[in-house]
A and B are shown apart, each in its own frame.
Chain A
């Protein structure tokens, strides 16, 4: 009954077959590049390219929309507030009482909204097309991050799934004790805090036991003062597909910057 966040249903798509490290590199490339500038050209070019890649994700557009709508809402809110509160320059486009929207503020708002989406989508693609175990394998074997850290985090994620279940049980168990009698927001908040603290205590105890069980299986061993050597049952390897993935990441970033510079919209955030 526990929520299984470690073995998501990853569709057998082109992106799912790529090495997670390559996907991570491509996503970072796009995201970091877009962070440099607030302009509607680079943001919309990147976003358009990203949307073209949706078929490679193996997720139906409707299902993607269902999972990403909070991002769209957040981007819309960011765009609206920027248009409302941003620097009032250029001609006034329309005015509603004290709310003034000028050309500059509206364009900046649109840029902020599109940029937010363009920055978030690569991360969403990575999550939707990647099994966490494969990511851990890639990080440890290809990027040589310490296995103790990577596998510890992976085991910890499994516990997060259990905690969702534990939270429900705790809520019922505490209601049986009579907790949550009050209807005032303060009483509810106190009950919530108490339950959260109880969950924390249980989580720490469970994590401690898990750590012992992992240690008993030779995890985190030390030989002559250095981490014990370790092998990997699953090999994380790169293929030609991964070169394409990285190339796509670099290409999208370059296209976005190039278009913005050519059209004179490139607008570095600082400096």
Chain B
């Protein structure tokens, strides 16, 4: 073994992991993210790592990848080794793929991106390009090496990230929710790429994911981390996932377990919609509900100069009704939602706010002033952080009613106190929105929109990356809003969400919108 490169020597042989009393406390935090962990993973094992949010799954993965940082970034206890070498010194033996496709691509072109890790490990040039070709074949990316990385879809970017680590020939592949931001096609692409490459290399796999069904067939072991340290369960998936006690605890931790529905429990949730909205309108009731917003031959696009992304859209949003918009990535779903929400101008056709919605304002929602918009149509963006305006949860909720709608101080208090209570944000009122958990951020971003009581709520992928608890909470809240007469429009890939809530489904594909049969 060359002393200069302790990692490069062991090639692609599967790596083993060993933890003894291991723990890590991030600098500036009181509690340990992980503590007292004893775990052995044999070379070639494929492990699904589960646990409540905050149980330290990502911390463990980052530690195994050797990127937790030096002593000043936290405090370590016990030992954690990869092939008998302390994890930070085993860099290059493990390859890590993260959740956000945009934040892990460093280079401008596909080939350079895959070669990047090899270069860093000082692999000789003549060996790099064969590795690049093999890695791209493993993940099924049949693209020219000079294709700009910016031109890839989310699923392709994640497969590219996977190829980038496979080219390093790691003995240990670490995946941290690699499919949480992807549409169903993207999820499948990435999973099959992982399967193919592991079948060829035999590398050890540790994957963190709260949607168990994505990986349960591919892994041979499930490890559940306890929130208080140590392991809650450990064993083959069929045994761990069949254990009633473990299922209960996983469900309580927000893990998506196969055969268990967040709304109906162990009975599979075909009837989730009925459970949620026993008095939901039937197809005749739909026609009786008050129409609010009418699109007639509407064309939408990001710019009036470019040709429209979607054309000929006919739809009506009605009081107390929910519509879902589905379709592949890049089909123009979000553009449609932003146009209906009055944030982008229509590029053709008609979009009319009917009198019950307009209430004296202009017919075209895009021409409304902000103060008119927030009390008529609310829009919840995919990324809650895009909509945070203040450094405090309380200020965030007060912003709309006080500064935009200009309600009286008494009204502001009433609205905000009601929301804090209803969305269980009271405990967090003084916190900085950016420090909240993913589920809390989602609750807050919905609450800020509800604060000005819009008649229509537009949501862009509201359930992306959410755990089962947040999911159920959100769906219940939206069902309640429907009951109160709010109209919902959700852009979503989430079939459970559509099944639970939507009265009407529109599918967008190839520049056209088609109405599918009613979901209920």
Interaction A to B: yes
Is A206 in contact with chain B by the CB < 8 A criterion? yes
Contacts of A213 in B (CB 8 A): 96, 98, 103-104, 106, 161
Is B62 part of the binding interface, using a Cβ–Cβ cutoff of 8 Å? yes
CA distance A217 to B163 in the complex (A): 12
Checking A155, A176, A178, A229 against B5 with a beta-carbon cut-off of 8 angstroms, the contacting residue is A229
Which stretch (A51-59, A90-98, A231-239) binds chain B?
A231-239
A219 vs B379: C-alpha distance when bound (angstroms): 40
A6 contacts partner chain B, Cβ-Cβ < 8 Å? yes
Closest to A178 in B: B404
Which B residues from 433 to 466 make CB contacts under 8 A with A?
434, 448-449, 452
Taken together as a complex, chains A and B put the C-alpha atoms of A174 and B379 apart, in Å, by 10
A120 within 8 A of B: no
What chain B residues lie within 8 Å of A235 (beta carbons)?
A: 125
A221 touches B120 (CB 8 A): yes
Report B-chain residues with C-beta under 8 Å of the C-beta of A206.
100, 102-103
* A216 / chain B contacts, CB cutoff of 8 Å: 65-67, 94-96, 165
Closest Cβ–Cβ distance, residue A53 to chain B (whole Å): 27
* A63 contacts chain B at the CB level, 8 A cutoff: no
Q: Given contacts A4-B148, A194-B389, are A231 and B370 in contact (CB under 8 A)?
A: no
Q: Are B92 and A218 in contact (CB under 8 A)?
A: yes
Binds A, one of B111-119, B258-266, B476-484: B111-119
Q: Evaluate contact between B434 and A201: CB separation under 8 angstroms.
A: yes
Q: Which residues of A contact B341 (CB under 8 A)?
A: 176
Q: Are A6 and B387 in contact (CB under 8 A)?
A: no
Q: Across the interface, do B373 and A178 meet the contact criterion of CB distance under 8 Å?
A: yes
Which residues of chain A come closer than 8 Å to B389, judged between CB atoms? 174, 177, 179, 194, 198
Residues of B133-176 at the interface with A, using a CB-CB cut-off of 8 Å, are 148-151, 161, 164-165, 168
Beyond A169-B381, A231-B123, whether A209 also contacts B104 by CB under 8 A is yes
B128 A233 Cβ-Cβ under 8 A? yes
Q: Which of A1-50 contact B (CB under 8 A)?
A: 1-2, 4, 6-7
The residues of A that contact B92 with a CB separation of less than 8 Å are: 218, 221
Q: Which of B3, B7, B108, B374 contacts A177 (CB 8 A)?
A: B374
In the complex, the answer to whether A231 meets B400 with C-beta atoms within 8 Å is: no
Q: Assuming the A-B contacts A177-B387, A201-B434, A235-B125, are A228 and B5 also in contact, with contact meaning beta carbons closer than 8 angstroms in the complex?
A: yes
Q: Complex formed: what's the CA distance from A259 to B367 in Å?
A: 62
Q: Distance (Å) between the CB of B171 and the closest chain A CB?
A: 14
Whether A150 sits at the interface, judged by CB under 8 Å, is no
Which among A2, A212, A218, A234 is the interface contact of B91 at CB below 8 angstroms? A218
Query: Shortest beta-carbon distance, A216 to chain B, in Å?
Result: 4
Per the bound structure, the CA–CA distance linking A8 and B389 in Å amounts to 35
A89 — which chain B residues lie within 8 A by C-beta? none
Partner of A231, one of B100, B109, B118, B399: B118
A233-B119 in contact (CB<8A): yes
The interface size of chain A toward B, counting residues with CB under 8 Å, comes to 53
Complex CA–CA separation, A223 to B343 (angstroms) = 52
CB proximity of B127 to chain A, nearest CB, Å = 9
Give complex CA distance A7, B107 in Å.
Answer: 10
Q: What is the bound-complex CA distance between A176 and B95, given in angstroms?
A: 40
- Specify which chain B residues have a CB less than 8 angstroms from the CB of A6 in the assembled complex: 108, 148, 150
Assembled-state Cα–Cα distance A2/B157 (Å): 14
Q: Which residues of B contact A218 (CB under 8 A)?
A: 7, 91-92, 117, 120-121, 168
Asked if residues A178 and B106 are in contact (CB atoms below 8 Å), the reply is no
Report the nearest A residue to B4, measured CB to CB: A223
B124 at the interface (CB under 8 A from A): yes
Closest A residue to B375 by CB, please name it.
Answer: A178
Q: For the complex, count residues of B whose C-beta is within 8 A of A.
A: 76
Inter-subunit contact A176/B373 (CB<8 Å): yes
Q: Are B379 and A176 within 8 A (Cβ)?
A: yes
Given contacts A178-B373, A231-B124, contact A217 B164 (CB under 8 A): yes
CB distance from A105 to the nearest CB of B (A): 44
Q: Given the known A-B contacts A210-B103, A221-B91, are A178 and B403 also in contact in the complex, defined by CB atoms under 8 Å?
A: yes
Chain A, 189-211, CB within 8 A of any chain B CB: 194, 198, 201-202, 206, 209-210
Contact of B112 among A174, A178, A231, A233 (CB under 8 A): A233
A126-159 vs B, CB cutoff 8 Å, 1 = contact: the mask equals: 0000011100000000000000000100110010
Binary contact track B73-117/A, C-beta < 8 Å → 1, others 0? 000000000000000000110111010101111111101100111
Please report which residues of chain B, range 20-54, place their CB below 8 angstroms from some CB of chain A when the two chains form the complex.
Answer: none
B98 contacts A209, CB within 8 Å?
yes
A155 contacts across to B, CB distance below 8 A = 106-107
Bound: A220/B120 CA distance, A: 8
Specify which chain A residues have a CB less than 8 angstroms from the CB of B344 in the assembled complex.
172
Tell me the complex Cα distance, A131–B108, Å: 10
B125 to chain A, nearest CB (A): 6
Residues 236-259 of A, flagged 1 when their CB comes within 8 A of B and 0 if not, give 000000000000000000000000
- Are the CB atoms of B121 and A178 closer together than 8 Å? no
Q: Are A133 and B109 in contact (CB under 8 A)?
A: yes
Measured between beta carbons, the chain B residues less than 8 angstroms from A65 are: none
What residues of chain B lie closer than 8 Å to A1, measured between beta carbons? Answer: 302
Indicate if B385 sits at the interface (CB-CB under 8 A). yes
Contact A132:B168 (CB < 8 A) given known A174-B389, A213-B96, A230-B120: no
Say if the beta carbon of A86 comes within 8 Å of chain B.
no
Using A216-B165, A219-B120, A223-B4 as known contacts, list a sample of 20 further A-B pairs with CB atoms less than 8 Å apart, ordered by residue number in A. Answer: A6-B108, A131-B108, A132-B108, A158-B106, A158-B107, A169-B381, A173-B383, A173-B387, A176-B381, A178-B403, A181-B403, A209-B98, A210-B106, A212-B67, A214-B116, A215-B67, A216-B65, A219-B116, A221-B120, A234-B112
23 CB contacts below 8 A, A to B, read A4-B148, A4-B150, A6-B150, A133-B107, A158-B105, A169-B381, A172-B343, A178-B399, A181-B369, A181-B403, A198-B388, A198-B389, A206-B103, A212-B62, A213-B161, A217-B95, A217-B106, A219-B116, A223-B4, A224-B3, A230-B120, A230-B122, A232-B125
